[in-house]
Amino acid sequence: MKDNSLRKIRSMLGILLILLSIVGLFLWEWKGRETILMDEVIVAREEIKKGTKVNSSLFLTKGVPKTNLLEGALTSADMELLQGKVTSQLIAKNDQIITAYFREDAFYLEQEESVFVIDPNWIAMRSSALRRGDMVDIYGSNGVGLLGTFQIAFVKDASEREVRNAAEEAPGKSGNEILERTDSTSIIDHIEIISTFDEYENLLNCVNGTTPTALIIVQRGDRIDS
On whether residue 7 sits in a domain, the answer given is no
Domain end, chosen from 71, 103, 135, is at 103
CA distance 54 to 141: 30
Q: Which domain holds residue 157?
A: 113-223
Structural domains in the chain (count): 2
Residues 141 and 217 in one domain: yes
Distance CA 72, CA 56 (A): 18
pLDDT tens over the chain, length 226 residues: 556 676 777 777 777 777 777 776 766 566 655 556 678 899 999 999 887 888 889 999 988 888 888 888 998 888 888 887 888 888 999 999 998 888 766 667 777 889 999 999 999 999 888 988 888 999 998 888 899 999 899 999 989 899 888 766 554 455 567 777 777 788 999 999 999 999 999 999 999 887 778 999 998 766 555 5
Question: In whole angstroms, what is the distance from residue 133 CA to residue 154 CA?
Answer: 8
pTM for the model: 0.60
Domain boundary residue, one of 75, 103, 131: 103
Does one domain contain both 135 and 71? no
Cα–Cα distance list, 57 to 77, 80, 116, 147, 151 (Å): 15, 11, 33, 28, 23
- Say yes or no: 82 and 123 in one domain: no
Within a domain: residue 155? yes
Q: Say if 207 falls within a structural domain.
A: yes
